[in-house]
Amino acid sequence: MFFRVMDKDRLPDLVRGLAAEYEVIGPIAKGDEFVFAIVSDPTELRLDYDTTILPPKKHFMPPTESLMSFRVQDSEVVGEELDRTPRVLFGLHPCDINGLMLMDNVFLQGYEDPYYKARRESTLIVGLNCMPHEGCFCKAWGTDEVHWGFDIFLSDLGDRYFVSVRSVEGADLLDRCVETRQITPEDTAEFQRVASEFQASFEGQPDTSQVPLLLDAKYDDPIWEELGSRCLSCGACSMVCPTCYCFDVRDRLEPDGQEGTRERVWDSCLYIDFAEVAHGHNFRASRAARVKNRYYHKQWGYLSKFERVLCVGCGRCASACKADINPRIVIEALQAGGGSL
Amino acid sequence: MNPTAVRRLAAYEQLSANPYRPWPARITSITELTDKETLFELRLIDDDVRDAFKFESGQFVEVSIFGVGEAPISISSAPSKQGFIELCVRNAGDVTGALHSRQCGDIVGLRGPFGRGFPFEEMKGNDVLLVAGGLGIAPLKSLINHIHDTRHEFGKVTILYGSRSPEEVLFARQFDMWRHRDDFDLHLTVDQPDETWDGDVGLVTNLFERVDVDPAKTFGAICGPPVMYKYVVAEMRAKGMEADRIYVSFERRMKCGFGKCGHCGVGHQYACIDGPVFNYWEAMNLQEAM
Ligand SMILES: Cc1cc2nc3c(=O)[nH]c(=O)nc-3n(C[C@H](O)[C@H](O)[C@H](O)COP(=O)(O)OP(=O)(O)OC[C@H]3O[C@@H](n4cnc5c(N)ncnc54)[C@H](O)[C@@H]3O)c2cc1C
């Protein structure tokens, strides 16, 4: 990795340079909140955003996407389109970049998912440092920093950015689009100061020690019934989660009934029929079983395969949940010895 | 490499390039087994794709009916039967219903094979005790046929198969012919007999009284409805069989079949890639398994 410094007033140059070659997606305001959306003008970018309603995963795995189009008569696939639109995701915080890397494990290991892979390979990631806001608990999982998974990463030093360059494409891009300069010892010192300030600003991070083990040890704990009695099974937590990847597959027929498209759509393990099989048997008929499964998978199932928990502490689920269920609450209950919340 | 090998390799790469893509397969034979279950024989149409399709007993395919959807179905035929695969399918809903309305010569989609099957090679040289309940015979049938085709490589082979009623016994004609063979110790039982039934009556677990097991050299294989596993495993354990020599095959909801869609979670594993066949040592350490 090498480093450059870019003056802040150069930012529009960078964004315009990118926009000439890529579809630029970044945080913009929507009412009182922020969303990742196409940026048509650099002034729209809100690099002071705290978090976005939806995580960036929708740009790699859209809520609905076509897997193939088919002909019914002879079961032939007549079209398979991979989205290779050159894109830049601009201004991702470390939690979201870490989230993408957790998705990569699922979609790029074992059987490769060609749809995810095509988008991932066509997308540049420009990271951006942040300051903890209320609800962040990335530090508890070690996802507060990110050392790879981006092309370039901007750290805000007030009047300038300290730019970490990870990839050849990132380096070329900087060269082509914007004027930067070599870092000086003062820049590095300031970078370190900002990083320490960031670390010192975290408050009340949950104690995540032994969480995977506790999930097994307290598998039959009454807390699950209690959480289940609150959960609305609405699936909002899954939709806003940067690492929830479950999906359903559906066929849509054209009116003539001869051709159609097979689509995948976001799904949630909290929906009642998620684990239902033929003859009405449901492996997770109760809401308690479904809530428990969500946490069990994220903090133990995934870990058993990839040695990381499937949560980056972004806090989006906590804002989305109408029943006040979120990882902090669940972890606290587990640590407290369960029983009641 | 010679041109055929190159072509085969290309076909193999194609097969794996997009695991979501079903390949056209022709229905070459349809045998009604019961009111609800039918045996379909299928042949992948593309020669190279067909040659590249290799599977193990216990693995499954996704059957694709474009416009309706897909269903995971165990392969019932043995890997030793080449060029064709057989699926024993219960009419249980949209996809399986649509398949039942198809005729010989019609084309459907297939993808796979997926999952981890039974440890056939490891089982060789040993006795095998197979226990099926209802439709659970479907994946076990592949193993049974495979053992049949290489019978001299196995010791004693015992099959215990329970059904609800005589009309629901799958592969009844074949099993009827096997009753008098001395190289397969076959016991069929039903919950509700009728006047024609001369086999056993009662749960499949009752049959254990009649089997002699040498625990040190026996492998167990179990497939059936979710409630059955616990009781059958207990019988095998009571015979002294070690947990890691007992294999169970699980059914779960599935969409993709290869570890992405998340539907088939069993505890911390996925039935599609970590199973559907697990040994009991793994299964007893899996939440939600049995
Ligand atoms: C590894 C594996 C092997 C199987 N082997 C066989 C077999 O050899 N023979 C056989 O007849 N059946 C087998 N099944 C069960 C078969 O997959 C389901 O009966 C079938 O998917 C139902 O689909 P459908 O569209 O006909 O029904 P639907 O109309 O979709 O639904 C009917 C019922 O099936 C449930 N269901 C829907 N989709 C699935 C799914 N993908 N998996 C499980 N349940 C589902 C629904 O919740 C509903 O309760 C197997 C399942 C698995 C996981």
A70 in any annotated domain: no
Say yes or no: A104 and A218 in one domain: no
Q: Looking at the structure, tell me whether residues A131 and A264 fall in a common domain.
A: no
Same domain, A261 and A180: no
B3-114 matches B120-283 in fold: no
The verdict on a CB contact (< 8 Å) between B261 and A249 is yes
Does some domain include residue A277?
yes
Residues of A in contact with B269 (CB under 8 A): 301, 304
Residues A159 and A263 in one domain: no
Assign 3-class secondary structure to B226-274: CCHHHHHHHHHHHCCCCHHHEEEECCCCCCCCCCCCCCCEECCEECCCC
What is the CATH code of the structural domain delimited by B3-114? 2.40.30.10
Q: Are residues A245 and A177 in the same domain?
A: no
Single out the residue in A200, A223, A247 at which a domain terminates. Answer: A200
Cα(A336) to ligand 1 centroid in Å equals 41
pLDDT for B289 equals 87
- Does residue A15 fall inside a structural domain? yes
Q: Nearest 5°: phi and psi at B63?
A: -90, 130
**What ipTM goes with this model?**
0.92
Same domain, A56 and A142: yes
Cα A197 to Cα B135: distance, rounded to the nearest angstrom: 62
Atom of ligand 1 nearest to the CA of A273: 47
Give distance in angstroms: CA of A212 to centre of ligand 1. 31
| Confidence class for position A226, pLDDT limits 50, 70, 90 | very high
Res. B180 pLDDT band, cuts 50 70 90: confident
Q: Are residues A41 and A140 in the same domain?
A: yes
Residue of B nearest to A304 (CA): B268
Ligand 1 pocket check: which of B251, B264, B273 to mutate, most ligand atoms within 8 Å of Cβ?
B251
Give B184-231 pLDDT, tens digit per residue.
Answer: 999 999 999 999 998 899 999 999 999 999 999 999 999 999 899 999
pTM for this structure? 0.93
CATH number for the domain spanning A93: value is: 3.40.640
Pocket test for ligand 1, best of A246, A271, A277, A279 (most atoms within 8 A of CB): A277
Contact A251 B253 (CB under 8 A): no
Q: Say yes or no: A254 and A316 in one domain.
A: yes
Domain B120-283 has CATH 3.40.50.80: yes
Mean pLDDT of chain A: 94
| Same domain flag for A133 and A268 | no
Q: What is the pLDDT of residue B11?
A: 58
Show the domain range for A223: 211-335
B73 lines ligand 1 (CB under 6 A): yes
Q: Is A222 exposed, middle or buried (0-12, 13-18, 19+ CB in 10 A)?
A: middle
| pLDDT tier, A48 (very low <50, low <70, confident <90, very high otherwise) | very high
Query: Is A56 in a helix, a strand, or coil?
Result: helix
Number of domains in chain A: 2
Interface contact B94, partner A, CB < 8 A = no
Boundary (domain end) residue, out of A168, A200, A232:
A200
Whether A72 maps to a domain, the answer reads no
Q: Do A219 and A163 belong together in one domain?
A: no
Distance CA A224, CA A291 (A): 7
Q: Is a pLDDT exceeding 70 seen at residue B15?
A: no
CA of A183 to the centre of ligand 1 (A): 60
Confidence bin at A339 (pLDDT 50/70/90): low
For chain B, the structural domain boundaries read: 3-114, 120-283
Q: Is residue A205 part of a domain?
A: no
Distance spanning both ends of chain B, measured CA to CA? 49
Question: Is the pLDDT confidence value at B283 over 80?
Answer: yes
Please state, in angstroms and rounded to a whole number, the distance separating the CA atoms of residues A248 and A270.
Answer: 13
pLDDT digits (tens, 9 = 90+) for B23-59: 999 999 999 999 999 999 999 999 999 999 999 999 9
Name the 3-class secondary structure at B209.
helix
- Cα torsion A334, A336, A339, A341: sign: negative
Q: Is the pLDDT of residue B76 over 90?
A: yes
A185 and A83 share one domain? yes
